[in-house]
Structure 1
């Protein structure tokens, strides 16, 4: 999202262009979302644009109505990869080396011997480093006004660690914390009524949180891996994933995100007493 330079460009007053892939997956998602109860929970989609053989989405600039905003990107779901991305069961030495660099104690005895792991093993290893596997969300990064972005959060895992980071982002504002809880609870209510959500697996999508100390909002963004469910497949977005069931854990993540924000308030009141 906003931490990746070159993905966004100003388009007009209150709008931006976002790079999109030629497969049009994200464009089609936004078109459907504009007719769904979730339309108020995502950036407004204006049109898709082809320019210099590249594809863009013209959409609402969510930062437009905030003064000196703080921004946080939260990746949602217990699974952040498509099933098609891990279908190849071939063990790869390059992924083994990547895992070893991050955690030399991670390989099993068999993996130490073969010096190779599958893509699925690597992706699940990465998810277990963060809070994704257990809580269904992870903080990708955040930026507060006047400071450099904080991005190296891939090992942020426990509720307490996340709560400390969230407090830093909220800058102690009880008003903002309560506004965000209300907004996320509203999102949850709309997700449970959404035809779009019922018929899609939502992979690699984020919730973008913005506040300026007075106003606060949260929006679903990033739908490049949000695909329609196969015919006859249903999900509840909470059940444990196994290959073929298309569960994404999105609602697990939202439940836990709301809980952590509430927990931040409790720990704050304890520290005052």
Structure 2
């Protein structure tokens, strides 16, 4: 246990309380200092098992967890913020080993008695190193080291949870989506717990790209009656957009409005639109979805990855892998994937890309298949997902090649 991680312990205690003893090994690996790795993974598991079994069945606690932690730290002799420089390496290692085991015992005794689970603490107080790039505000929150909670849609069919459960069992596809852990019902709200794609990256560059030429369900535009409210929305964006007949009726159909909305971004022509982006050291930019021209899109992609040939190569390689897996997938042949995004991230050391958001992924009628590239005609369920991937790869490959390659080798991270 490294003393410079002490400030993190209250959060880890809350994580353990929420998730139980099975997460101990992973949590301890987070707590360990690189210089203080004194146990192998198997050794940790054995020690943790023994500690847990030795826990009294009916513990009596006369103090709060916080008070107990302070007492543990005091008794461990960790008052100072650093270890004496006169200590030998062997003494430091032995001290780390003793401190780690002392912490494990403390965690094992107190974990099930904590009253504030990780979700309650972290949903209200997010780390400054964690951010939500796009989507509905507060739909995501960190749940612990390496995981996030995402609010479920609340719809009766619970589409996104079911899709994640199915894809996580698919050997071909589970490597191109965030890891799915479980469903959570907490204080009257429903969540799914997923891999935190930001975890392990240091001040990364991040971009969220909404895929497809169609980002609405066919069921959303089945009604053919013209609506005044949609006409008003259309003219508020572009007064010249309605036809003469639509101006006279002061109404447009849902299909007409949704197609008009797609034309306001690059989705219609290029099969994707950039939703949001975060560059190093700056807050996220979330007003990019109305970029329409190729010039605007290329300028944004150049900002994201231009002048970094090694990064660009790794991103293109990962996107090619995603495309290849989709093309080989039986699942994708029988499902329309509406409103999903490619989440692309990199820092000085690694690159990652995944498909996220499956709230509008649905099985198409029996007897039909989709190739995700053909133009959409109502009833064929094509959405242009792979057409968008093709275009995105081509554009990233075409970003500026001027400048010096990264000094630090970049490794892919899927």
Shorter chain as denominator, the TM-score bin is over 0.9
Residue 359 of structure 2: aligned partner = 224
Counterpart residue number, 2:166? 32
Q: Tell me the residue number matched to 1:87.
A: 222
Deviation at 1:222, TM superposition (A): 0.1
Report the Cα distance in structure 2 between the residues aligned to 1:182 and 1:160, rounded to whole angstroms. 24
1:77-120 Cα deviation digits (max 9, x unpaired): 11000001111111111111111111112111111111111111
Structure (1/2) with the larger strand percentage: 1
Asked whether 1:108 is paired with 2:213, we answer no
Q: Within 5 Å, give how 1:240-255 maps onto structure 2.
A: 240-255=375-390
Larger helix fraction of residues? 2
Bigger Cα displacement from structure 2, 101-110 vs 220-229: 101-110
Q: Displacement, 1:154?
A: 3.0
Matched with 2:142 is 10
| CA shift digits 1:172-216 (9 cap, x unpaired) | 322211111000001011111112212210001011111124322
Residue 171 to residue 134, structure 1, CA distance change in 2 (3 Å): closer
- Paired residue for 1:179? 314
- Return the alpha-carbon distance in structure 2 between the equivalents of residues 2 and 229 of structure 1: 30
- Aligned-partner SS, 2:173: helix
Unmatched segments (≥5 aa) in structure 1 = none
Deviation sequence 1:236-266 (CA, Å, 0-9, x none): 111111111111111100000001111114x
Count of aligned positions: 268
Q: Is residue 211 of structure 2 the alignment partner of residue 76 of structure 1?
A: yes
How big is the shift at 1:52?
2.1
The answer as to whether partners of 2:307 and 2:402 remain within 8 angstroms in 1 is no
Shifted more, 126-135 versus 141-150: the winner is 141-150
The higher radius of gyration belongs to: 2
CA–CA distance in 1 between the matches of 2:290 and 2:280? Answer: 24
Q: Distance in 2 between matches of 1:109 and 1:154?
A: 28
- Residue pair 1:26, 1:225 contacting (<8 A) in 2 also: yes
For 2:352 and 2:234, locate their aligned partners in 1 and report how far apart those are by CA, in whole Å: 36
Q: Distance in 2 between matches of 1:104 and 1:233?
A: 39
- 3-state SS in 2 of match to 1:28: helix
What is the rounded CA distance, in whole Å, between the counterparts of 1:195 and 1:31 in structure 2? 16
Q: Distance in 1 between matches of 2:335 and 2:302?
A: 33
Ranges of 4+ aligned residues in structure 1 off by more than 3 Å: none
The DSSP-based 3-state class of the residue aligned with 1:129 is coil
Q: Output the CA distance in 2 between the equivalents of 1:55 and 1:31.
A: 15
